[in-house]
Structure 1
Amino acid sequence: MGVAFGWGPVEARALAGTAACVVVVDVLSFTTAVGVAVEGGSAVHPYRWRDATAAGYAREHDAVLAVGRSETTPDHPWSLSPAALRAAPAPARLVLPSPNGSALAAGAASGGAAVVAASLRNRTAVARLLVRHGYGSAARPLAVIASGERWPDGSLRPALEDHLGAGAVLDALRALAPGLHPTPEATAAATLWAATDDPAAALHGCDSGRELYEYGFPEDVAVAAEIDGSTTVPVLVDGAFTEAP
């Protein structure tokens, strides 16, 4: 494997055993939120459960706990909303619970691979970091994992926004390093991105984008659609995402 593409935490754990680096993609909204928070100067601790244990985890790490989008207050404005995080004061440490993106990051890290958070906002910056560190070669295999969503029974629901996000990174990577050897799945994801005439419109119109509109958070889709709007690359180090040097 040189450059592979997969879906969800199960495949992340499977590929992490052979990959030197795993790129996590959860466009709406975990990895977009991580990027915004890290840009602001926060270290982001992913946490896979949004339950009573999250508060204890935040206390253990002397961190602010992000709450649900509808649970924010003027005194506690931090949530999974990228737009809210952009507007809020940046805490030194932020715990960001997410059953999809956080679980994916934890699964990827369990294999000892480097873990990078990617979105449409930093897709080219991520590709540049991967090339700089030699990821995607036979010696340093790379896996790009789309998070997806969940059906009511807990099974994986593939999500267009994450397929596009992963494809965006893979397309940038093949432009910067054409000598790499992607799997057919990785090539197909990159081709999907390249063939999408208006990715921002697709983001606004996809199932997850429409859900955020219905819940009253269209600004989160707008932030996620800022293609190449960021040069910050969050890397998971000692349990927290911080900016790659």
Structure 2
Amino acid sequence: MSAVDDQHRQHAYRVRLDWGPVGAAAIGPADIAVVVDVLSFTTTLTVAVERGIEVFPFRWRDDRAEAYARERDAVLAVQRQDAVPGRPSLSPASLRKAEGVRRLVLPSPNGSTISTLLAETGATVVGASLRNRTAVARWLAPRCVEGASVAFVASGERWPDGTLRPAVEDLWGAGAVLDALDPDGLSPEAAMARDAFRAADLPDALHTCAGGRELIAKGYAEDVVVAAQLDSASVVPVLRGGSFQAVTAQR
């Protein structure tokens, strides 16, 4: 990332925010990286760890995924369109119904891939969504008091040509955590996310934004319903030793 100007790194601030894998690299390294992919990786992740499932993030469209899952005695999640009853996918609604899953390899083009990249920097990686935003804020609060730097990464989506498409639901998701945390030392970018959440008409806006409409049009309206359940989860998925595991935040 030597080509990135220092001004874009936000290192003057302890709490930062940027978009996608390139933005994640630009604002790192940080002590803690909070990945936000509301539709749907971090929402699915939260549903999984609520159910006691250990989740291994994995890069998208990597041919090694099946072997990686076998080595860990884990189930490999399929794409939404390939899901069958009882087989978990990136759909949070489908994962709520899956039975007998103890370990899950969960690839995704955005949140999962970014989590894997951030773990390689040595940061403690946390998954945040609208569902667990207060739990994540409670987990972060004592660490921020101790002076930890925190990089929020809004994962975004992809245009057909592969370029980043900023997704407003991820801005809201990051802002939701920041609203509950209310830390000092926010970069202007992080403060913008907090203010965007405060201004959003949630949960309705999640159904009417581009990402929500896209999933609904494809027949996955239930996934949007699950993602919009603000503060419905009390667990914090923390990436340790290659897998996300549930941590309960202290009140």
* C-alpha displacement of 1:50: 3.0
Q: Are positions 1:214 and 2:232 aligned together?
A: no
TM-score by length of 1: 0.92
- After the TM superposition, which residues 34-53 of structure 1 pair with which residues of structure 2 at under 5 Å, given as runs? 34-53=45-64
Secondary structure (helix, strand or coil) at the match of 2:144 reads coil
Structure 2: gaps spanning 5 or more residues: 1-12
Secondary structure (helix, strand or coil) at the match of 1:203 reads helix
Matched residues in 1 for 2:96 and 2:145: separation? 32
- After the TM superposition, which residues 1-245 of structure 1 pair with which residues of structure 2 at under 5 Å, given as runs? 1-17=13-29, 19-74=30-85, 76-132=86-142, 134-135=143-144, 139-174=147-182, 177=183, 180-196=184-200, 198-245=201-248
Matched residues in 1 for 2:75 and 2:164: separation? 29
**Does the aligned pair in 1 maintain the 2:17–2:27 contact within 8 Å?**
no
Secondary structure (helix, strand or coil) at the match of 1:9 reads helix
**Higher mean Cα deviation, 214-223 or 8-17?**
8-17
Counterpart of 1:82 in structure 2: which amino acid?
P
* C-alpha displacement of 1:239: 0.8
Residues paired across the two proteins, number: 236
Counterpart of 1:33 in structure 2: which amino acid?
T
* C-alpha displacement of 1:51: 4.6
Secondary structure (helix, strand or coil) at the match of 1:199 reads coil
TM-score by length of 2: 0.90
Offset from partner CA, 1:50-71 (integer Å, 9 cap, x none)? 3532111111211001011121
**Does the aligned pair in 2 maintain the 1:42–1:90 contact within 8 Å?**
no
Structure 1: gaps spanning 5 or more residues: none
Matched residues in 2 for 1:166 and 1:154: separation? 23
**Does the aligned pair in 2 maintain the 1:2–1:136 contact within 8 Å?**
no
Work out the percentage of aligned pairs sharing the same amino acid: 55
**Does the aligned pair in 2 maintain the 1:16–1:110 contact within 8 Å?**
no
Moved over 3 A (4+): none
Counterpart of 1:72 in structure 2: which amino acid?
A
The root-mean-square deviation of aligned C-alpha atoms, in Å, is 1.4
* C-alpha displacement of 1:37: 0.5
* C-alpha displacement of 1:99: 1.0
Counterpart of 2:178 in structure 1: which amino acid?
L
Secondary structure (helix, strand or coil) at the match of 1:244 reads strand
Matched residues in 2 for 1:171 and 1:96: separation? 28
